[in-house]
Amino acid sequence: MLHKERMPAKPKEPIIFVNGEFLPQSEAKISVLDHGLMYGDGCFDAWCGRNGFVFQLDAHLDRLYRSVKGLKLDLKMPKATMRANIIECVHRNVVPDVYIKVLVTRGISPEPVIDPRKCKEASVVIFAREEQFEVPAEKKGVGIRIKVNSIRRTSHMSMEPKIKTLNYLNIVMGKLEAWECGFDEAVMLDDNGYVCECPGFNISFVSGNTLFTPSHGILVGITRNSVMEMAREMGMDVREGYYTVFDFTSADEVFMTNTVAGVAPVVNIDGWTIGDGKMGPITRKFQEIYLNWLETGRHGTQVFPEAWS
């Protein structure tokens, strides 16, 4: 149990880590010549937490450093130091129910031109904010409607989707298309018409006692992996492969996963009703287990040991 009376005093404004310093938000700045701003040249990762536990801290860290390596960024900060800085940022902001984001860019260029060789050192920014809600609570309870986008997901032949880059324009445009057409979210296909992922989410479906999830063209989500772990513990079969829109619209249940939303049920795809049009029992079970893991600290790292018993 987290005893809030034992928590540190909350700062007057959010604290942000920027290149070695913990600064009040009003003082936190990054150069206009940073390659992350000019070219989306960098990567990021995001965490969530409840009751002072940061969920899957090390799994996300491992993915962040794979992204760093994949982009050939010169990040001199060791993983253990990054871990300590994340924990300290959460502690300084006093946010037990937390959303964390870490940005790593190639760094500052002397001139506004594309020459990554002249960026001498990577930039690092760490945010720790109150819990965010990407899918409204009422939608998580009754389900969301998603559109099959005309915009295709960026091909792995152009950019490796396993790298969580700062260049999210493809995903931003995918969300805009869905919203402008009156849907809650979207799903994106690859160049061959197979389902990849939703803009900012992984997507999966349940048929019978089997969980199916795309294996290609996706960011390998930590929450996706957690749900696969839950399914196996529930005695379900888990399969990864190539699936069409028809496979999803014919399923018993469909849901999306990401760090912010957790498990979000999908009840309609492009006008096709999924199942009986309501959140299914297995999706509801995944939601319940996920919330329990967050609150009880399974796969969690406690940031406020002085307030926990």
Mean pLDDT of 130-142: 78
Decide: helix, strand or coil at residue 221: coil
CA 23 to chain centre: 25
Evaluate if residue 65 carries a pLDDT over 90. yes
Integer Rg of the chain from CA: 20
Residues in the chain: 309
89-94 average pLDDT score: 98
Q: Does the CA dihedral 248-236-300-3 come out positive or negative? A: positive
Structural domains of the chain sorted by starting position, each given as residue range(s) with its CATH number in brackets: 4-132 (3.30.470.10), 137-296 (3.20.10.10)
Whether residue 123 contacts residue 104, with contact meaning beta carbons closer than 8 Å, is answered with yes
Least confident of 156-165, 207-216, 295-304: 156-165
CA gap 34, 20 in Å, rounded? 16
* pLDDT grade for 139, boundaries at 50, 70 and 90: confident
Query: 33: closest CA among 166, 123, 162, 139?
Result: 123
Residue 150: pLDDT above 80?
A: yes
Helix segments in 183-280, DSSP class H: 222-233, 245-249
Give the contacts of 76 (CB within 8 A, at least 6 positions apart): 121, 122
Q: What is the pLDDT of residue 137?
A: 73
Phi/psi at 307 (5° precision): -110, 5
Give the tokens for residue 113.
């031109």
Distance from C-alpha of 286 to C-alpha of 288, rounded to nearest angstrom: 5
